[in-house]
Homo-oligomer: A and B are copies of this chain.
Amino acid sequence: MSIVRKYSVRVLLGLLITAGISCADEKTSSLPVSSTSSESLDNEHPSLILTKAGVDKIRENLGSVPLFDTSLAAVKSEVDAEIAAGIETPIPKDYSGGYTHARHKKNFLILQKAGVLYQILDDEKYAIYIKDMLFQYEAMYKTLPKHPQTRSYARGKLFWQCLNDSNWLVYVSQAYDCVYNYLSAQERETLETNLFRPFADYISIENPQFYNRVHNHSTWGNAAVGMIGLVMNDKELIDRALYGIKGAGLQTGEKDNDGGFIYNKDGKAGFLANLEEPFSPDGYYTEGPYYQRYAMYPFLIFAEGLHNVKPEYKIFEHKDSVLLKSVNALLNLSDADGEFFPLNDGQKGMSYYSRELVTAVDIAYQYGGNNQGLLSIAEKQNKVLLDDSGLAVALGVKNGEAKPFEKKSINLTDGPDGKQGGVGILRYGNEDITLVFKYAAQGLSHGHYDKLSFSLYEREEEVLQDYGLARFVNIEQKGGGNYLKENTTWAKQTIAHNTLTINETSHFNGSYEIGSKHHSQLYLFDAENEAIQVVSAKETNAYGGIEMHRTLVMIKDDSFEKPYVLDIMKVLATENNQYDLPYYFMGQLMQTNFDYKTPNTLKALGAKNGYQHLYVEGVGTTTSPNAKILFLNEGKFYSLTTATNKTDKLYFTRIGATDPEFNLRRDAAFMIRRNNTKNTVFVSAIESHGGYSPVSEFAVNSNSSISEVNVVLDTAAYTGIRITDVNGTSRLFILANNTTSKDKSHSVTINNNEHQWTGAYYFK
């Protein structure tokens, strides 16, 4: 009976499509659908990621495409070792980082790979391995209770959270597709009835608070349900994947255990909503690159499956090809070593060498017009997917088509419509200097309270760091590998970032509810002239009644060895405030041009909002127009010169106070505190210069080239900064604060000299 029903559904669907009824309409059809297994001709397998035609082509090319062959050999060796070690499906017990978690994670990764090997190598041992393991899971799953660990808002069964169960199904669906025809109809029936269908229902219908959201967790859930639906050719599951669960009642105000809202006021859910909401038209993912990387895999792998099984959905063209654009955006959100900028909750070290990015690069190459720059990334990854896209990439590399993936200055908007701020990246040369400026939206539950913060890189080295998250992902010994409480008390707080904290309170008072309603506004992004690049944005909601306007200028002047960064933070306030502007510099302090005192005992800078985690290592003041610090990091010298008032306090702080489990790194900052002040402007210049080699013991160009930085004009309409170098040459930068019109003429007089220009800024 199942065959008959199945056949009729396929035929009817075909008729609908032929009749020009669009995909979006399909979900409203009330056709009877059900889970079935079939060997009918039109349900050919593999069809999801691998295809029959693709497998044929791969087999033809075996042994002649080095990158593909290398990747295949690596996968074979890994899977063979696992087969030799035997199958283990332990009763679930641990949090991430624990044994049962790691084992089940390993299992799904290996199952997917074994499936691919079965198809490519046509060696039955892989099919047997998959079948045996699937039936072990089937035997266990049918009576498996919820996972014993209770911390999650949506506990899984194999894992402590539905998120990881979804990971499992995304991968295992692919394995199932590969052995679909190897299994008997009876075997498939058993697996689908006892394992796959209940598994898909559990992570969706039984956990709508997990499944029916706009969130990276849900994307995994949607993809999991959709992929098993595609293999089982189950339209109900596919619809549930694409559009969410209809009428799932969620309470307003409920939160997940990362603090994110569960309730979605628009009621939008499912894969398409998850594609719609968090991605900007530029392909920036609102949670930041670390989570974009994580979400990339289900987005792209499900898209590839959908493309293969249901090409009529044209998923890769959806929202002006946002999926493909997102790969480009993500690659641009990395340093010279390919490591992603740790915006929001990002763990440092994650990079485009991750398996998710192998997927992303290969799929983007295959379905995004064979961008040859992607081939150079694939070469570095030294790994391709074992499917059609991976073969295409490996062939491209073999044929010498790779070109460098050039990263330039780029502005990436945030928000579904690109109107919720963004991230501006200024680059000089071949990523010699990179500045990352964040003026984005909150970034869902993984967002930090760091409006207008920035970080600075020299090639792959952090110069001014973004701390990233406070977590050791999957290291069981640190809080089960989950978020540590210092992520909330430190990493998310404003003071943990290179931006302004006012009155020792985080932006939006650290309230996710309020922060989620707002975003900064881009004021100017101009990177046309590499020698002077400007990014500027305003934030008016982080502190009620106060406007912060930060402008970062990357200037390459002939009298400087490398470009320097001019940092202008203008504040408009009607009340007296205390302003704290830290710079989390990396490396060791070499020198200052001001006196400071170091205390005998280290005490915390404050009691809350992150201040409790900072020790005060030194406090100074200066009567000079500028305070300057020199530091040495990874063999290079850096100087920070800041325009100071006599009453400014200059702090040296170090992270690590109130840290009873040594969860935080002992990193340093230089912080300017300005008290009892209304309107003000902070101006600093950050130079990279020279270097030191412990092998030659030569110190080269170890002194700042700047003799003075002065605020020469500070009105509502204009901010003017003079930078004087050690040879006495000076430059003037004036920003028009209220209009960036390219045609607008300006004229200001400073010290009896009139300066005239057209456009947003003056520089001479």
List residues of chain A with CB under 8 Å of any chain B CB: 97, 102, 347-351, 353-355, 472-478, 481, 588-591, 598, 600-604, 615, 617-618, 630, 632, 652, 654, 656-660, 662, 665-666, 668, 692-699, 702-703
- Chain B contacts for A604, CB-based, 8 A: 600
Q: Is the CB of A662 within 8 A of B652?
A: yes
**A635 vs chain B, min Cβ distance (A):** 9
Q: In the complex, what distance in Å separates the CA atom of A590 from the CA atom of B476?
A: 9
Q: Is the CB of B695 within 8 A of A350?
A: yes
Task: List 9 A-B residue pairs with CB atoms under 8 Å apart, sorted by A's residue number.
Answer: A349-B693, A355-B696, A474-B697, A474-B699, A475-B590, A477-B630, A481-B699, A588-B662, A602-B602
Q: In the complex, what distance in Å separates the CA atom of A476 from the CA atom of B350?
A: 37
**A3 vs chain B, min Cβ distance (A):** 42
Q: In the complex, what distance in Å separates the CA atom of A591 from the CA atom of B601?
A: 26
Q: Is the CB of B477 within 8 A of A591?
A: yes
Q: Is the CB of B696 within 8 A of A354?
A: yes
Knowing A588-B665, A666-B654, A694-B349, say if A699 contacts B475 (CB, 8 Å). yes
Q: In the complex, what distance in Å separates the CA atom of A660 from the CA atom of B595?
A: 10
Chain copies in complex? 2
- Chain B contacts for A695, CB-based, 8 A: 349-351, 353-354
- Chain B contacts for A630, CB-based, 8 A: 477
**A53 vs chain B, min Cβ distance (A):** 32
**A179 vs chain B, min Cβ distance (A):** 26
Cross-chain contact of A615 among B350, B602, B662, B703 (Cβ < 8 A): B602
Q: Is the CB of B590 within 8 A of A478?
A: yes
- Chain B contacts for A591, CB-based, 8 A: 477-478
Q: In the complex, what distance in Å separates the CA atom of A474 from the CA atom of B692?
A: 9
Q: In the complex, what distance in Å separates the CA atom of A590 from the CA atom of B664?
A: 11
- Chain B contacts for A692, CB-based, 8 A: 472, 474-475
Q: In the complex, what distance in Å separates the CA atom of A658 from the CA atom of B588?
A: 16
- Chain B contacts for A102, CB-based, 8 A: 698-699
Q: In the complex, what distance in Å separates the CA atom of A351 from the CA atom of B697?
A: 11
Q: Which residue of B lies closest to A612 (CB)?
A: B600
Q: In the complex, what distance in Å separates the CA atom of A105 from the CA atom of B652?
A: 35
Most buried by B among A354, A478, A665, A668: A478
Cross-chain contact of A475 among B477, B632, B657 (Cβ < 8 A): B632
- Chain B contacts for A475, CB-based, 8 A: 590, 632, 692, 699, 702
**A486 vs chain B, min Cβ distance (A):** 13
**A607 vs chain B, min Cβ distance (A):** 11
Q: Which residue of B lies closest to A659 (CB)?
A: B598
Q: Is the CB of B698 within 8 A of A660?
A: no
Knowing A475-B632, A477-B591, A588-B665, say if A598 contacts B660 (CB, 8 Å). yes
- Chain B contacts for A589, CB-based, 8 A: 662
Q: In the complex, what distance in Å separates the CA atom of A666 from the CA atom of B630?
A: 18
- Chain B contacts for A602, CB-based, 8 A: 601-602, 615
Most buried by B among A347, A591, A630: A591
Q: Is the CB of A347 within 8 A of B694?
A: yes
Knowing A589-B662, A602-B602, A662-B588, say if A473 contacts B697 (CB, 8 Å). yes
Q: Which residue of B lies closest to A481 (CB)?
A: B699
Q: Is the CB of B652 within 8 A of A476?
A: no
Q: Is the CB of B477 within 8 A of A590?
A: yes
Cross-chain contact of A699 among B353, B476, B660 (Cβ < 8 A): B476
Q: In the complex, what distance in Å separates the CA atom of A656 from the CA atom of B668?
A: 12
- Chain B contacts for A699, CB-based, 8 A: 97, 102, 474-476, 481
Most buried by B among A353, A355, A694: A694
- Chain B contacts for A660, CB-based, 8 A: 598, 618
Knowing A477-B591, A477-B702, say if A348 contacts B659 (CB, 8 Å). no
Contacts A475-B632, A666-B666 known; 11 new A-B pairs at CB < 8 A:
A350-B694, A350-B695, A473-B697, A474-B699, A475-B699, A477-B630, A481-B699, A588-B662, A589-B662, A600-B657, A617-B662
- Chain B contacts for A697, CB-based, 8 A: 347, 350, 473-474
**A377 vs chain B, min Cβ distance (A):** 14
- Chain B contacts for A703, CB-based, 8 A: 477
Most buried by B among A97, A475, A600, A668: A475
- Chain B contacts for A598, CB-based, 8 A: 659-660
Q: In the complex, what distance in Å separates the CA atom of A102 from the CA atom of B700?
A: 9
- Chain B contacts for A668, CB-based, 8 A: 666
Q: Is the CB of B474 within 8 A of A698?
A: yes
Q: In the complex, what distance in Å separates the CA atom of A349 from the CA atom of B691?
A: 14
**A242 vs chain B, min Cβ distance (A):** 29
